[in-house]
Structure 1
Amino acid sequence: MAEHNELGRKGEEVAIACLKKKGHRIVERNWSFSGYEIDIVSEHEEFIVFVEVKTRTSAEWGDPVDAVTEQRMRRMIRAASHYLKINHIDKPARFDIIAVIGNERYFELEHIEDAFLPFL
């Protein structure tokens, strides 16, 4: 597996641990449909939460959150819409971003709840 893929997988594991600690129930991981992908789908309180995870080894080239572009947000919104429809879910949706910076031994994490609204 390529090093950047391994780092991304590890970042998602750290993100899932964080979400579980906050009371989320993980429903899906790396859900994809017709070219769209969502890193993590969870349930938290009354919400279905769609989470984008961005992992970097350092912030030298910028904050990982900045890598979640408007285009990526639009694709997440479309994917979430498909997910809700396919699974017949009638719950309010929330879009979170988790930025992970670190290496195999140490990770720093920032969880931005309700990071963007579903109408860009």
Structure 2
Amino acid sequence: MADHNEFGKLAEELAVKFLEDLKYKILVRNYRFMKAEIDIIAEFENEIIIVEVKARGTDAFMEPQEAINKKKMKLLISAANDFSENFKRDLNTRFDVITILPDERKKLQITHIINAFESIDGN
């Protein structure tokens, strides 16, 4: 379990660095509201970006983003609404997913899925 948690923390650190390199402003990490936790909240081009980070040691069973079901989406939306109300952020909100998977050489690969909920719903 500790290895899994450490990999998750590493994945979030990589995601933050990735976003910062793209000039996203990181506002909050691990924002909690009721049963929801948003991994990263950022601001970019006058939008609030809600980022769910999904990492796997392998993609043998499913792609990481496939673990985001309707219930998880609703929780993230509720938490995003709470954030906007509490921090007076009156900007459009976008929901992204960053996946982190090892390639065949075990090098971690980052994929940024913009407007992920629309992408996931469209399948």
TM-score (norm. length: structure 2):
0.88
Aligned to 1:77: 77
The percentage of counterpart residues that share the same residue type is 35
The answer to whether structure 1 residue 112 and structure 2 residue 110 are counterparts is no
- Matched positions, count: 117
Aligned to 2:39: 39
The amino acid across from 1:107 in the alignment is L
Is contact 2:35-2:75 (8 Å) kept?
A: no
Runs of 4+ in structure 1 over 4 Å off = none
Aligned to 2:21: 21
Task: Give the gaps of 5 or more residues in structure 2.
Answer: none
Aligned-pair CA distance for 1:106: 2.6
Q: In structure 1, the residue corresponding to 2:5 is in which secondary structure? A: helix
Alignment RMSD, CA only? 1.8
Task: Give the gaps of 5 or more residues in structure 1.
Answer: none
Counterparts of residues 39-78 of structure 1 (less than 5 Å) = 39-78=39-78
Is contact 2:97-2:112 (8 Å) kept?
A: yes
The structure with the largest helix share of the pair is: 2
Aligned-pair CA distance for 1:22: 1.1
Is contact 2:24-2:43 (8 Å) kept?
A: yes
Structure-2 separation of matches of 1:70 and 1:18:
26
Structure-1 separation of matches of 2:112 and 2:65:
10
Q: In structure 1, the residue corresponding to 2:95 is in which secondary structure? A: strand
Aligned-pair CA distance for 1:70: 1.4
